[in-house]
Structure 1
């Protein structure tokens, strides 16, 4: 098998910055032999599965085939696929999760990685860090006037990732953003519209009989829209003015302890149910309820808006309003590949993804406490 100099993979901001010039990557023309055991180990499959994937790819499952192709790319080995695009790399960018916080894009990031490698394209992982947008952009694009090291990008989230997206846009790199806020920046975007999800959560809790519902939301660029959507839904469903007193909201920083503080404030306001707009806030609310010797859901119902890792195995299993991450991954990759095939010609897209309600055991009719 021949090495592929285009197949680099980085993890973290520093690795991504070095990926295009990594000294460990094989040079064109360099011959390198990688054993079947190394490929199987990197892919997390058996040697037999790895062998079938290399010799008879149609006899293994799509998931196993994607793992083997990803391992080949990471090891710097050409899979021998003649229909894979030549010299193509896509940057997958997400913001670094703050210490103690839960990465809300973890599942989408993994799905995108699998799909990119399954299509024979190399992925460069980038964790965007504050104040490093210029350096990261240069590592991905090279110097002005040169050919970029990557041919496209999928950028998840805002903050530092948004700053990097702006730098990539200045060099006209085909890219699409997936975020929870809409901006007039001319970049193609898939918006994770939480306002409809919040409205669904309000309707469900009111249907259960709750009238005192609180909202815990991260203090970020999407907070104002989410708060407005929450109060509008409360007013429409409960036929109340939905003032601060009647529709209490707490804005919190990231991290579980911020969720604890938010929950304590909402409990003090006698909320019988809370809608949390981030995984870290949900964990904080569970912790605050335990400290107050309250049972979830008997004493406090909890419903999470957004992706909640392992929501079905948490005690109690958490009801949530979640997105179809598989559909989002497919849409994002298809869009950026279309842009890469027709650079400068594709019109910018801008559409929203509405989440669905997944009922589990953390929300029940209110009881006295």
Structure 2
């Protein structure tokens, strides 16, 4: 039995009644082609099941018009919103966004990156990469442009776009201290995350400067609701529990709210709760979550713009773009019932 031949660009052109050059321009979004002709070509391509061979096009020196994006996971509202914003930014520039997840697995991250660098995309957005050292050195030699997003690891020549974490955390803690809280619990983020390390560093330094540092008030986390729930249960079970809990992400803060509900505590009357990210749900879940807004839109726009500059051959090595975060006060924080001096 003979194998069916792959549908070619010439086949699409024949069915649409146009030239192969016209088909190529339509499918690559180039040139000034009438809407009627574009519709004919797209309909013919769909009928024939034509799929462009982007890897072959790359080998011929052409462009795929695809930007690859590798994220740890999409369960987090933060990563989902970042991916959406990047897709919108890419679309406005005539590019599609190919999204890959790693489940925070370094080996899987490497496999996804290698696939994208093998011709599947014109450039790569790598979000909170867990690979470091020798692997990053290898990426610096890539012929495919790469932009790192929210990277806080060792020195690299790759361009980096990120949101600020330290000052936003300081502002949040000063807000809680000004309300009269003295026992402020903290639930950290994922162990490998440079962002989590920055938030913990700010918490430790602010609490030490205020003479309020207590190791018992720190719980490990991983940015998930489950870890927020577990960490809050441990903190609220202390002989002298905190009057406020700062979770290293909004998703963990929602877990803290669940733990408070389990104990019959009212938020914020009995317990103030704060998060980080200002995810879409932060303003919707009663009483509204006090949090630190990360500039997701700015990060996505700048990352795509920087990557397109690199694709066009402009120098972007060693560039670092950092956008400020912003404290957002809502109903989940209030003065404690019995403020300490």
Give the TM-score range, shorter chain. Answer: 0.7 to 0.9
Indicate whether 1:280 and 2:251 are aligned: yes
Contact persistence 2:151–2:160 (CA under 8 A): no
Structure 1 residue 336: Cα displacement: 0.9
Indicate whether 1:257 and 2:231 are aligned: no
Query: Who is 2:334 aligned against?
Result: 364
Structure 1 residue 153: Cα displacement: 1.1
The 1:254/1:326 distance shift into structure 2, 3 A limit, reads closer
Structure 1 residue 86: Cα displacement: 5.7
Contact persistence 1:194–1:305 (CA under 8 A): no
Separation in structure 2 between the aligned mates of residue 367 and residue 183 of structure 1, nearest angstrom: 44
Runs (5+) with no aligned partner, structure 1: 1-22, 35-53, 56-74, 78-84, 143-147
Query: Who is 2:67 aligned against?
Result: 90
Query: Who is 1:226 aligned against?
Result: 199
Q: TM-score scaled to structure 1, two decimals?
A: 0.69
Structure 1 residue 167: Cα displacement: 5.9
Indicate whether 1:116 and 2:87 are aligned: no
Structure 1 residue 219: Cα displacement: 3.8
Structure 1 residue 202: Cα displacement: 0.6
Aligned pairs for 1:1-369 (under 5 A) are 27-31=8-12, 87-97=64-74, 102-129=76-103, 130=105, 131-142=107-118, 148-159=119-130, 168-179=139-150, 181-221=152-192, 222=194, 223-236=196-209, 238=210, 240=211, 242-244=213-215, 248-267=217-236, 268=238, 269-342=240-313, 345-368=315-338
Q: Equivalent residue of 2:275, what SS? A: strand
The 1:354/1:173 distance shift into structure 2, 3 A limit, reads same
Deviations 1:203-234 (A, max 9, x none): 11112221221111124133444322112122
Contact persistence 1:198–1:230 (CA under 8 A): yes
Q: Equivalent residue of 1:190, what SS? A: strand
Separation in structure 2 between the aligned mates of residue 302 and residue 310 of structure 1, nearest angstrom: 15
Contact persistence 2:163–2:324 (CA under 8 A): yes
Structure 1 residue 103: Cα displacement: 4.2
Separation in structure 2 between the aligned mates of residue 103 and residue 26 of structure 1, nearest angstrom: 40
Number of residue pairs matched by the alignment: 289
Structure 1 residue 164: Cα displacement: 8.3
Q: Output the aligned Cα RMSD.
A: 3.3
Separation in structure 2 between the aligned mates of residue 219 and residue 107 of structure 1, nearest angstrom: 19
